[in-house]
Structure 1
Amino acid sequence: MKHYIAKISLVLLAILLTVPTFAQDVLYQGTVVDSQDEPLIGATVRVPDTKIVTITDIDGNFSIRVPKGKSVEISYIGYLPVTVTNFNETKIVLKEDSESLDEVVVVGYGTQKKAHLTGAISTVPMDDIKDLADGNLASSLSGLVNGLSVVGGDSRPGDPASVYVRGVRSLGDVGSTVQQPLFVIDGVVYNNDVKVGNITTNPGADAFNNLDPNDVESITVLKDASAAVYGSRAANGVILVTTKKGKLGEPVISYSGTFGFTDAVSNPKMLNAYDYGRLYNAIAAADPTNTTLNRLNDLFQADELQAMRRLNYDLLDDYWKTGFTMKHNVGISGATEKANYYASIGYYDQDGNLGKLEYNRWNYRAGVDLTLKKWVKASVQISGDYGDKNNPLVKVGGTNAEKQYNLLLTHPRYIPEYVNGHPMAVYGPTNTRVNADQDYSFSVLQNSGDYSKNKTSNLQI
């Protein structure tokens, strides 16, 4: 009998040891606020290494029972967590985390942790693009976001790039004009396309391309139903941009400078003058039934071929040059308990590889957020850019500016550009004009004084 009583006593003791001893617990009550003394709703209050957890109510208040010897950890998205061991401290102030964007994704309806994302949303690593010497922001995104295509923007100074979500065509877009995604910059929604007369422009794409990467805090690409909050305009996706703001503390003055160059990795290898003449003769005389071929005037003769061994007029090599770019940005930012401010000015300059191509742009941005009362806030932001692009009118046939590269590349190596100060036409051995391309002279058009000047100016308040 004593044996069974002792066994029952041990079982009861074990049960008692597994039951929480609330007499030793502490009931901790408090309020969680931010640096502006505003209550944080839904902040997580937990006891580490346990399953004891609660969240703050609409007024930031919480109540949690803490076992003896334990601490309390309070956290909130975008704020630095705080560990509390002194339970007499009933007002907990959380400070903003300047690195929180690495953990938080901006979406159409606010912010969300990456771990909780279920939609097709991508973020751009800003550290990877802010030091690039690209002339437009869209070009910097090439290869960085899955499902985002970047077209153009790298051929001539000042040419804008276009971005497309999931390829260059969207649903229902077959046979119609391809549209870029919807651009939302600091909450401002830009129209997709605006048609003035016969000219169609995209204000959102222009504003996005002209942003200085040093002013951008985050870029988020919404690629599926996560963009539905913007309605039918978001059928082609949405690109959300958040610019920088001041951080709590003393004023910070920053400078960023980037220098770069643009050049060709290689150019196509062309035949020298002698081999070109031999190949020309072989093709021209390949048809033995051709009775119209004048072998004396329509083919290169032996003495001409011999002279062509010593000729090599490579006009592309003569006119091709390395283009230089530079980018500068100066900014000042800071914040107090009542005010948050940020201002910057940037400059970008780029030269072309052929001819007198020039492009430069100024960017400016300034903003301030004021807390007038606990329930009254005011903010104003001014931003804009001014661009200047200078292009010689060297278009061949009046349509294709890029054809100049091909004509310089394929210029016959045996024909000089000038003879006795006169430009030479590329008529060949037959001395006949087949098309207008043969009359093209790069040097004459470059120095004609005929230029196209484009000045662009954008202002957003």
Structure 2
Amino acid sequence: MKRKLTMFLALFFIGIGLAVAQTQVRGTVVDEAGEPVIGATIQIKGTSQGTVSDIDGNFTLSAPAGGTLVISYVGYQTQEVPVSANVSVQLSADSELLDEVVVVGYGTTTRRAFTGAASSVSNDLIENKIDINPVKALAGTVPGLQMNVGSGQPGAPANIFIRGRNSVNSGTQPLYVIDGVPFETGIQGMRQSEGQQMSPLATISAQDIESVTVLKDASATSIYGARAANGVIVITTKKGKRGLNIDFTARVGTESMPSYTDNYKLVDADTYRQLSKEALLNGYNYASTVGRQSNFQRFNDAYGLGLPYNESGAEDFFSWYTEIDYDSPYNTDWLKEVTRTGLIQNYTLTLNGGGETATAARYYTSVDYFDTKAIVRGKDMKRYSFRFNFDQAPTEKVAYGFNSNVAHTITNMGAGGGYFSDPITQAIMQSPLSPVYNEDGTWNFNTINGYNPVAQRSELGDKSEAKQYRFIFSPYVTYKFIDELSL
């Protein structure tokens, strides 16, 4: 019986090994021109397990032998390939997108007829991402476009690289063109306060955007000259349509601290006491100088405290040195105190219409309110915007109109000044033995370094408020000489 059981267990574990046999897959994803596809999704069919291709189009994934990989990317046909050690995938453009309208410097064309390098993003993708800066919706949707945002401040600019990070001018932003008008988004075009920047693109409502086209190569950007050395992002706003259309959109969302912060949880009061005591008994000195006396020994001798060099003496020295009671009943989570669940609200009312004939006037108008409260307390932004676009083509040759936008933003950037005003840094530095409030309800500044990050982020704390007013008015008149030439 024992021999049979042993044989059964051996076969059982062999079966498990076969069932979970994995293959390390290394592969590359390219487009029809042989260029790497950055950010393509590679997923094991029938599961949620997967990865994305890197800047060179390469990927590595552990997949079950005999399985199937599903490779997909926006604007390309999805492909399925069997699992093998080495995989090379060439994605083909979706034929349904070849007749998509592409906005270029001199007008519009179809993707089928366009020979330059460009990518278009529809308003559906932009509207579905709730962010006060609509340009951030381009992340993960445009091949070759890299983006990073160095701040969690609402309205903060995004650093966009269209032609790679290693080019000579990669440190500058691409040129933005909104309804045919170049838009300044460099340092000169941003409201900057004590090192914090706010992008002027945050004054545009995502609900007003019809499409975004990213122009990449020289043939696509040549009309804009040297300013387009880092590519061009062309934003086209919505126009009026026939009849009368009224829409109201309400979007509410939340955001919270990322999951990786679980690895950076602050210690509780008991652990903090124990670690502090161990540090003092092990010769801790704040200067970290080799051979220097420890804080415990140096101050104990200098001030004649007469404390014994044992656990009891270390506890008493901690209370004397930090002016915080070692046996304090408090257990404050400072990181939790300076953060919150962020709330995003966006309400938009649009009204557009026009006559039924081709020569009738058409209009598009919208009223938008956006309110975002960041994860870190004291960082907020509100935007009020109004847009009115008008266009008419009274004859087959003449067309005219204008696009206008008025926006007012109010941004609370929190306290400026660098290191000691950063709430996250301050929260990590604080002792859990210190309370946020004194017993009489006032703010407690008897902390490990004399700062109270919660007080700094309160309604009565330090503020750096920025108000921005922006008005855009761009009229146009075109005359068609022939079908291929309009001015």
Please tell me the TM-score bracket, short chain as reference: 0.5 to 0.7
Which residue in 2 is equivalent to 1:460? 472
Q: Which amino acid aligns with 1:425?
A: N
Q: Structure 1 residue 272 and structure 2 residue 265: aligned?
A: no
The separation in 2 between residues aligned to 1:194 and 1:415, in whole angstroms, is 41
The separation in 1 between residues aligned to 2:294 and 2:362, in whole angstroms, is 83
Q: Which amino acid aligns with 2:333?
A: D
Q: Structure 1 residue 126 and structure 2 residue 120: aligned?
A: no
Which residue in 2 is equivalent to 1:413? 432
Q: State whether residues 138 and 163 of structure 1, in contact with CA within 8 Å, keep that contact through their aligned partners in structure 2.
A: no
Within the candidate set 131, 143, 147, 1:146 is matched to 143
Q: State whether residues 219 and 242 of structure 1, in contact with CA within 8 Å, keep that contact through their aligned partners in structure 2.
A: yes
- Shifted more, 300-309 versus 313-322: the winner is 300-309
Question: Deviations 1:67-91 (Å, cap 9, x if unpaired)?
Answer: xxxxxxxxxxxxxxxxxxxxxxxxx
Which residue in 1 is equivalent to 2:105? 108
Which residue in 1 is equivalent to 2:342? 323
- The Cα shift of 1:403 comes to 1.9
Which residue in 1 is equivalent to 2:391? 369
- Shifted more, 335-344 versus 277-286: the winner is 277-286
TM-score under structure 1 length normalisation: 0.65
Which residue in 2 is equivalent to 1:451? 463
Tell me the SS of whatever aligns to 1:183.
strand
Q: Structure 1 residue 441 and structure 2 residue 452: aligned?
A: yes
TM-score under structure 2 length normalisation: 0.61
Which residue in 2 is equivalent to 1:234? 228
Q: Which amino acid aligns with 2:467?
A: K
Q: Structure 1 residue 425 and structure 2 residue 427: aligned?
A: no
Q: 1:450 to 1:412 in 2, by over 3 A?
A: closer
- The Cα shift of 1:237 comes to 0.5
Q: State whether residues 182 and 234 of structure 1, in contact with CA within 8 Å, keep that contact through their aligned partners in structure 2.
A: yes
Q: State whether residues 245 and 353 of structure 2, in contact with CA within 8 Å, keep that contact through their aligned partners in structure 1.
A: yes
Q: Which amino acid aligns with 1:365?
A: R
- The Cα shift of 1:182 comes to 0.6
Which residue in 2 is equivalent to 1:44? none
Question: Which runs of no fewer than 5 residues in structure 1 stay unpaired?
Answer: 1-98, 428-437
Which residue in 2 is equivalent to 1:212? 205
Q: State whether residues 101 and 218 of structure 1, in contact with CA within 8 Å, keep that contact through their aligned partners in structure 2.
A: no
Within the candidate set 181, 186, 209, 2:179 is matched to 186
The separation in 2 between residues aligned to 1:220 and 1:340, in whole angstroms, is 24
The separation in 2 between residues aligned to 1:223 and 1:441, in whole angstroms, is 48
- The Cα shift of 1:275 comes to 2.5
Q: 1:192 to 1:259 in 2, by over 3 A?
A: closer
Q: State whether residues 138 and 162 of structure 1, in contact with CA within 8 Å, keep that contact through their aligned partners in structure 2.
A: no
Tell me the SS of whatever aligns to 1:327.
strand
Question: Deviations 1:226-257 (Å, cap 9, x if unpaired)?
Answer: 2122111100110011111122x311111211
Which residue in 2 is equivalent to 1:332? 351
Q: State whether residues 321 and 354 of structure 1, in contact with CA within 8 Å, keep that contact through their aligned partners in structure 2.
A: yes
Which residue in 1 is equivalent to 2:155? 158
Identity of aligned residues (%): 29
- The Cα shift of 1:116 comes to 4.1
The separation in 1 between residues aligned to 2:167 and 2:228, in whole angstroms, is 11
Which residue in 2 is equivalent to 1:357? 379
Within the candidate set 403, 415, 433, 1:381 is matched to 403
The separation in 2 between residues aligned to 1:198 and 1:364, in whole angstroms, is 21
Q: 1:259 to 1:102 in 2, by over 3 A?
A: farther
**Aligned-pair RMSD on alpha carbons?**
3.5
Q: Which amino acid aligns with 2:336?
A: D
The separation in 1 between residues aligned to 2:407 and 2:364, in whole angstroms, is 17
- The Cα shift of 1:258 comes to 0.6
Q: State whether residues 252 and 334 of structure 1, in contact with CA within 8 Å, keep that contact through their aligned partners in structure 2.
A: yes
- The Cα shift of 1:419 comes to 4.2
Question: Deviations 1:294-322 (Å, cap 9, x if unpaired)?
Answer: 35489863767996596522122234321
The separation in 1 between residues aligned to 2:190 and 2:160, in whole angstroms, is 24
Paired positions, count: 341
- The Cα shift of 1:392 comes to 4.3
Q: Which amino acid aligns with 1:228?
A: S
- Shifted more, 137-146 versus 279-288: the winner is 279-288
The separation in 2 between residues aligned to 1:313 and 1:263, in whole angstroms, is 20
Q: Structure 1 residue 344 and structure 2 residue 344: aligned?
A: no
